[in-house]
């Protein structure tokens, strides 16, 4: 999965030489891994999108519907479908015709009013009365849905004018009727509903249980946030941003972070208790300091309570933060991609 993510999110160009290797893994992978492998196959640039869909139809037809759904979300993958449709229109008239529909569905969800306008401007070129009638029905239905949406939004503010307070309390008034967006997202997560927007910039998050949640479809932004007494066991995060984030009393057992920012490396002090606790368990008091490069910076083993100090070399922070690829490029396993 990590290899697929590296290929998909690479800023160094395409990797056509990896296509055969990834495709062999793709044919025998489970569904979730196969979808990730497919995205990596697209990004290798070895074959055009329609050709790749033919190969998928032969090797792993059960994920075709998942690919259509991904395209309809207008994700990064859909860009390659749009581009190939523009270059190879004839390739999308047969078995690949559903990809056209997925693209259209995505545009309808994203900008329905624009789709209606385009249909109005081009309806006269339809050569069939039946198609014209179907297009008319689609436009009418979309317009009605937009009208209902507008009415539902307006209804929420219908009586606001009569409730408006004096000028000095306007800010308090709006704060009382508009729910805190951070709290709304936390409430959704508490009900195991993952919102598309997981921006918790400068938020204070306490006593949350996100254990076992799949957050791979959203970007988790925790920059400048404080995360306290929160369970993240077995959580799966695809893209995480943790710049200047304070973590306190966290449980990250089994957590997976596919792509988490490495910008602000830090020292980590792991301190253990010593002696016997109320449950009769003995602890040796092993403590250690980990440097921002991931290596052991210091350790101490004490069988009694004591104070241990460690001098931090702050120049090490500057070395890592100003050279973001320091621990990636030198450790590439080039033998894995050689022919």
64: buried, middle or exposed (CB in 10 Å: 19+, 13-18, 0-12)? Answer: middle
User: What pLDDT does 181 receive?
Assistant: 81
Among 132-141, 173-182, 223-232, the minimum mean pLDDT is found in 173-182
31, 62 contact by CB (below 8 A): yes
Determine the angle formed by the axes of helices 19-27 and 49-59, rounding to 10 degrees.
30
CA atoms within 13 Å, Cβ hemisphere of 329: 6
Which range is most confident: 28-32, 126-130, 163-167, 255-259?
28-32
pLDDT for the residue 196:
81
pLDDT confidence of residue 271? 81
Q: What is the chain's mean pLDDT, rounded?
A: 77
CA distance 262 to 274: 33
Q: Specify the pLDDT at position 176.
A: 52
Pick from 322, 272, 271: which is nearest to 292 by CA?
A: 322
In the numeric block, the tokens 């003995």 are attached to: 282
Say if residues 184 and 205 touch (Cβ distance below 8 Å): no
Asked whether the predicted pLDDT for residue 29 surpasses 70, the reply is: yes
Least trusted range by pLDDT, from 29-33, 88-92, 189-193, 280-284: 280-284
Q: Can you give the residue ranges of every domain in the chain?
A: 2-110, 196-336
**pLDDT over 50 (residue 120):** yes
Question: What is the structure's pLDDT at 262?
Answer: 47
In whole angstroms, give the CA distance from residue 219 to residue 215: 8
Whether residue 165 has pLDDT greater than 70:
no
Rg, Å, the chain Cα set: 27
pLDDT over 60 (residue 221): yes
Structure token digits, residue 1 = 């999965």
What is the per-residue pLDDT across 273-327, written as a single tens digit (0 to 9) for each? 888 888 888 887 778 887 777 677 778 777 777 777 888 887 877 777 676 555 5
Beta bridge partners of 82: none
> Which residues 6+ apart lie within 8 Å of 322 measured at CB?
none
Share of the chain above pLDDT 70, in %: 77
Q: Do the beta carbons of residue 258 and residue 5 sit within 8 Å?
A: yes
**Strand pairing category for 286-290 and 256-260:** unpaired
| Cα angle 182, 178, 144; round to 5 | 105
Distances (CA, A) of 306 to 116, 272, 282, 286: 73, 12, 16, 11
- What is each CA distance from 199 to 217, 240, 258, in whole angstroms? 13, 10, 18
């Amino acid at each position: 999965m990590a290899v697929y993510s590296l290929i998909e999110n690479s800023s160094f160009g395409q990797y056509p030489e990896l296509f055969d290797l990834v495709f062999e893994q793709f044919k025998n992978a489970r569904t979730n891994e196969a979808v990730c492998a497919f995205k990596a196959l697209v990004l290798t640039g070895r074959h055009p999108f329609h050709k790749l869909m033919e190969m998928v139809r032969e090797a792993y037809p059960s994920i075709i519907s998942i690919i259509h759904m991904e395209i309809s979300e207008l994700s990064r993958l859909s860009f390659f479908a749009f581009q190939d449709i523009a270059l190879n229109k004839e390739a999308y008239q047969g078995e690949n015709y559903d990809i056209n529909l997925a693209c259209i569905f995505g545009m309808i969800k994203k900008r329905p009013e624009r789709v209606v306008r385009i249909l109005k401007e081009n309806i006269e070129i339809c050569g069939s009365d039946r198609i014209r009638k179907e297009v008319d029905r689609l436009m009418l239905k979309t317009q009605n849905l937009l009208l209902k949406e507008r009415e539902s939004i307006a209804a929420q503010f219908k009586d606001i004018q009569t409730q408006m307070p004096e000028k000095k309390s306007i800010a308090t008034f709006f704060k009382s009727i508009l729910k805190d967006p951070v709290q709304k997202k936390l409430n959704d997560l508490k009900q195991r509903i993952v919102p598309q927007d997981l921006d918790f910039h400068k938020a204070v998050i306490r006593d949350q249980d996100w254990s076992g949640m799949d957050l791979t479809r959203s970007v988790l932004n925790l920059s400048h946030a404080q995360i306290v007494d929160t369970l993240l066991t077995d959580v799966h995060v695809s893209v995480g941003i943790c710049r200047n984030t304070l973590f306190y009393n966290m449980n990250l057992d089994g957590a997976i972070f596919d792509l988490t920012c490495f910008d602000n490396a830090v020292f980590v002090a792991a301190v253990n208790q010593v002696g016997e606790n109320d449950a009769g368990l003995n602890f040796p008091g092993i403590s250690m300091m980990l440097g921002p490069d991931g290596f052991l910076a210091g350790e101490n083993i004490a069988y009694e309570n004591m104070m241990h100090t460690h001098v931090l070399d702050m120049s090490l922070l500057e070395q890592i933060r100003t050279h973001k690829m320091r621990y990636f490029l030198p450790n590439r396993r080039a033998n894995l991609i050689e022919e």
